[in-house]
Amino acid sequence: MKKVISVFFVVLSVFLMGNAYQDLEINIEEEVFLQEQPILEYEDILLFKIDNPYAKAEEDFVLLDPDNMDVTPVIKNDRTLVPVRFISENLGFDVSWDSKERRAVMSKDDISISCKTDSYEIYVNEKRISLDVPSMIINDRLYVPLRAVSEVFDNNVSYKKRMIMVSQSDTSIEQYEIEQLSKLYSEFVKIKKLQEFREDENSMEKWKLSKRLIDHIVYFHDKTIPSIEFNYFPDHKDIPQEVYYHAHLAVFLDLVKVESGDFDAYYNLSFDELNKTLENFVDVFIDNPDFNYKDKNNVEEDILNIINKNIKDIKDEHNIRASVYDFSKDLSISYNGTEKFYPASLTKTLNLLCFLEEVQAGNLDLESIYKLEESDKFVNDSEVIGAGNLRFEDEGTEYTYRSILNRMVSSSDNVAANITIDILGIDKINSFSKRFELEDTIIYRKFYEMNVSKAVNHSTTVDLNKMLILLENRLVVNDDLSSLGIEFMKETYNKDRIARYAPDNVTVANKIGFLQRLSGDMAIIYFENREPIALTVFVEDKYRRSIKTEEVNDIIGNLSGEIIDYFSLDSMPSLYINGDRIDKNAGLRFIDKRPFIKYHEFLGEFPKESVVIGGEKYISLDCFAENTEYSYLLRRFPLNAVSIR
């Protein structure tokens, strides 16, 4: 009975098509009935896809109607309709047509099924079965609602993601795993596109193909085409506006190729080019592609490869922790970045931020005078030793708070750091840490406080990098105070770690940390032609033995030097306004995960959200949303750009 159902649909479509042509006074009934239709060899399952002219059984695809590629399953008035002729013939039904009654009759063994054009009824052995939508002629073929396949022919019919399964068993397409389902869907797309090319060799213009392939990905994987574009082509004005983002995403996902940077929207792909594109599409489609720039450019993979290469000979003896942040892409990369450890003097950056916040609030004054006391040189009975020279200065010597902060940072002065802790209080510092989501950073002790009853300070390279981001992006205090803190770091006397092998054309603002068993450095690295990066690297002996300072400094220096070189090769996007290039460097950076660019006079004077960084105004791209469409780069090929329209 199940085979009977499928056969009915095919025959019915043929008969109704013939009758429709009779209404046009074109008698093609005999021609239609005598046309030879493809037969699929199958035991259980037939597969179809909405708006696709193919059916599949096992590994075989055949056209539903070799003479009419418009014969496909369709959706009309929110109902799925299928052409019955193909299904009927594959189920072995004999078909006759009553042109006077406009009725198709399908018979097999003791089963007789009849259907009249535009009727809400189908008869199976004289038993009436009602339809929720009528049978109808579409593309010169008879179509019936999908539900009738199940109700009339006693087959199991299932539907998912615009694909239809007609099964003679209880098998349902809803049982398919997502990978199996996506493979099936993408194969239907591929074979249809190849057939379209065979029908018309000029049918595969690059822009049209890009739109169709991206639309399939968006539909199947429930994605949204970003309103922010990922690419910029010199011939962007030739791309039809309605597929502008589709074109960029198609290149971004390596579905279509570009030559000399141009997209060539109206270029017709050859068969070999189309076949290769569709093979790529199937692979990409099954993988559920990410429209995210960070994954596509493999920056994370590249940086981790650099780290692994540099530490492969020492990682058995040392714990290595490293975190990198790229301000121009809002991209964070870490190696053991969330492991907690004693960070030595690197938490002095936390003291700096908290102190500057109090200055901005008016609770402290940088020009206030502090008189050094002998007790500042001790914590309980323990002498505060290590870096810095305040421990050698006379009691009563006067310093401004500005000078105390500078010494704490640039000379890593431990006495100065403890003075800031006394002024602020440990509770305020930890409260600051919590407010700014430095979740793994806690201060329990002052420097050289040997009280064994207290827990040890701890942090992570991820948190330490966050401190640098807070400072550089002016997320805690204004530009003047942030710039002051960064100047202290630029003046750090020790440039023998992160800056050890850095090129001369970069500036390193850093804060060092050192004990006998560990060495670390955290820094904001400024480039000539791109936005900065933040980098924190820490090396600790696994067995708490004394490290060899020069050896460890060389490890940090080599690792940092390669990372700096890597980012220095990443050129910044140009600024385009209404298609015209205004500036070679848009100054794109992310602040609190939102994109900003350097202000340019061509951007006009309407109100804009802005942040001042290093004396330069950065404008939020979000502020253009109500006035114009805007876009910015998500990958480096073929041309970096921020485009404001």
Summarize pLDDT for 270-280 with one digit per residue, the tens. Answer: 999 999 999 99
CA neighbor of 293 nearest in space, from 13, 633, 589, 564: 633
Q: What local confidence, expressed as pLDDT, does residue 216 receive?
A: 95
Q: What local confidence, expressed as pLDDT, does residue 19 receive?
A: 36
H helices of 460-509, in order, are 461-472, 479-490
- Report the CATH fold assignment for 308-568: Beta-lactamase (3.40.710)
Please indicate whether residue 633 or residue 370 has the higher confidence score (pLDDT).
370
Q: What local confidence, expressed as pLDDT, does residue 407 receive?
A: 97
Please tell me the least confidently modeled range out of 146-150, 266-270, 411-415. Answer: 146-150
| Assigned architecture for domain 2-174 | 2-Layer Sandwich (3.30)
CA neighbor of 577 nearest in space, from 595, 599, 594, 608: 599
All CATH 3.40.710.10 domain ranges of the chain, comma separated, are 308-568
pLDDT at 570 over 70: yes
Q: What local confidence, expressed as pLDDT, does residue 42 receive?
A: 59
Whole-structure pTM value: 0.60
All CATH 3.30.457.10 domain ranges of the chain, comma separated, are 2-174
Tens digits of residue pLDDT in 187-228: 999 999 999 999 888 889 999 999 999 999 999 999 877 655
What is the average per-residue pLDDT within 112-131?
A: 86
Cα end-to-end distance, the chain, whole Å: 62
Overall size of the chain counted in residues: 645
Please tell me the least confidently modeled range out of 87-91, 469-473, 555-559. Answer: 87-91
Amino acid at 181: L
CA neighbor of 538 nearest in space, from 507, 563, 559, 562: 559
pLDDT at 18 over 60: no
Q: Are 158 and 167 in contact (CB under 8 A)?
A: yes
Q: Is residue 42 packed enough to be buried (19+ CB in 10 Å), middle (13-18) or exposed (0-12)?
A: middle
Q: How far is CA 260 from CA 28, 30, 350, in A?
A: 53, 56, 48
Please indicate whether residue 367 or residue 601 has the higher confidence score (pLDDT).
367
Tens digits of residue pLDDT in 612-639: 999 999 988 877 654 444 444 434 444 5
Q: What local confidence, expressed as pLDDT, does residue 8 receive?
A: 33
Q: What is the rounded CA–CA span in Å between residue 138 and residue 135?
A: 10
CB count in 10 Å sphere of residue 4: 24
CA neighbor of 556 nearest in space, from 510, 504, 516, 521: 521
Q: Which residues in 361-370 are b (16+ Cβ under 10 Å) and which e? A: eeebeeeeeb
Please tell me the least confidently modeled range out of 342-346, 415-419, 452-456, 491-495. Answer: 452-456
Phi, psi of 475, rounded to the nearest 5 degrees: -90, -10
